[in-house]
Amino acid sequence: MADITATQDGSGANRFLHWIIHHPIWAFVVIVFIFFSVMNEHFFALGNFKNILIQASTLGLIALGMTLVMINGNIDLSVGAVVALAASLTVDIMGWPMFEGWGNWQILPGVLAGLAAGVLLGALNGFIVWKTGVDAFIVTLGAMLGVRGLVFVYTEEQSFFAMNFAYSDFGASSLVGLPTLALIFLVFTALVHILLSRTVHGSNTYAVGDNREAAVNAGIRVGPHMMINFMIVGFFAALAGITLSTQMGASTPNLGTNFELWVITAVVLGGTKLTGGAGSIIGTFGGVLAIQILRNGMNLMQVPAFWVLVILGSILIGVLFLDKQLNRKGAEELRL
């Protein structure tokens, strides 16, 4: 947030205006940040900021991958179920007797299995979208039910507990003064930002979302491209499931319920278009922060959790409305 004000003070007041019009969510983030700082004495504290980042990391990680998929013009509704699957697999497998003698290394096969499951399910979603041509909404809606079914069948509706405490210690650990989970989130945010804004894959992501036919004609292999993005979101959903379960030292089969809705909310708040072709990681990061600052601040002000749901829903619709007003093409748009 510091660099925003810096640019404003500098030469580019116009550039700042331009930037904020393209990322209106950051204006909102600053407003709620100032609001809660003034209204609540406990909000403006380093410990609380760390808290916000940890809480934001779960939704945030998934939102990074979701941004790519949504810029492609697709969507992934199965992320919440993948969160539960990865968490359950990881916590269960690291407790298998065959890894008993491995010490803390017993966590590794669990984590690898969890991440692999996420990537594989993403690949499956992407492959089906590619080969069948069925809309991603339907494919991942099916996967959302099916993967959740897999979780319930696999776990027999039981929670798993991590017997190796190094696992939950990791969730509570810090690195270079930052909570490790927050650090993981920030590093991946930077990586995906670079992927999207500085690489060929990134520019292809926009091209495919903007005009799929044109992308095909331009020689982009659209099918595999979309599949890779589904694998990325699957990876992040699995990673989020694992980091979430390190925070609890356990996994439950209901983990991640409704996450897809929260993640999509964050990504749309961040300015990514449902129709594809537009969006950015900076926007998504702002969307995730906005949601988490609101949740955290309202929690500190002891607003009942119920109201948070109403306010978030209203904000989502409000942002959609504002976005439509601001981006209206004017007279050239046919008013039907």
CB of 81 to other proteins, least distance (A): 9
Q: What's the CA gap between 134 and 40, in Å, rounded? A: 49
Residue 314 contacts other proteins per CB under 8 A: yes
Q: Which of 116, 186, 250, 261 binds other proteins (CB under 8 A)?
A: 261
Only segment of 27-35, 149-157, 174-182, 188-196 that touches other proteins (CB under 8 A): 149-157
Buried b (16+ CB within 10 A) or exposed e, 144-175: beebbebbbeebeeeebebebeebbebbeeee
Segment interacting with other proteins (CB under 8 A) among 53-61, 96-104, 192-200, 300-308: 300-308
Residues in 69-98 at the binding interface with other proteins, rule: CB under 8 A: 77
Contacts of 298 (CB under 8 A, 6+ apart): 307, 308, 311
Q: Is 222 in the site for other proteins (CB under 8 A)?
A: yes
Which tokens hold the place of 274?
């449902």
Question: Any contact of residue 223 with other proteins (CB under 8 A)?
Answer: yes
One of 13, 27, 153, 187 touching other proteins (CB under 8 A): 153
Among 146, 159, 178, 278, binds other proteins (CB under 8 A): 146
Q: How far apart are CA 79 and CA 50, in angstroms?
A: 25
CB of 63 to other proteins, least distance (A): 14
> What is the spatial distance between Cα 85 and Cα 55, in angstroms, rounded to a whole number?
20
CA distance 226 to 220: 11
| Residue 288 binds other proteins, judged by CB under 8 A | no
Give least dist CB 196 to other proteins, A: 22
Applying CB under 8 A, among 132, 173, 174, 203 the residue interacting with other proteins is 132
To other proteins, the closest distance from the beta carbon of 126 in angstroms equals 11
Selected binder of other proteins within 221, 247, 248, 299 (CB under 8 A): 221
Q: Of these, 134, 172, 187, 301, which contacts other proteins (CB under 8 A)?
A: 134
The piece of 41-49, 165-173, 186-194, 302-310 that touches other proteins (CB under 8 A) is 302-310
Residue 257 sits in the site that holds other proteins (CB under 8 A): yes
**Three-state DSSP class for residue 87:** helix
Contact partners, residue 125, CB within 8 Å, separation at least 6 = 76, 78, 136, 139, 140, 143, 230, 234
Rounded distance, CA 25 to CA 318, Å? 12
Centroid of chain to Cα 192:
11
Q: Rounded to 5 degrees, what angle do the CA atoms 45, 50, 53 make? A: 130
Q: Which residues sit opposite 83 in a β-bridge?
A: none
**147 contributes a contact to other proteins by CB under 8 A:** yes
Q: Which residues bind other proteins (CB under 8 A)?
A: 77, 128, 130-135, 137-139, 141-150, 152-153, 156-157, 212, 216, 221-223, 257-258, 261, 264-265, 268, 274, 304-317, 320-321, 324, 334, 336
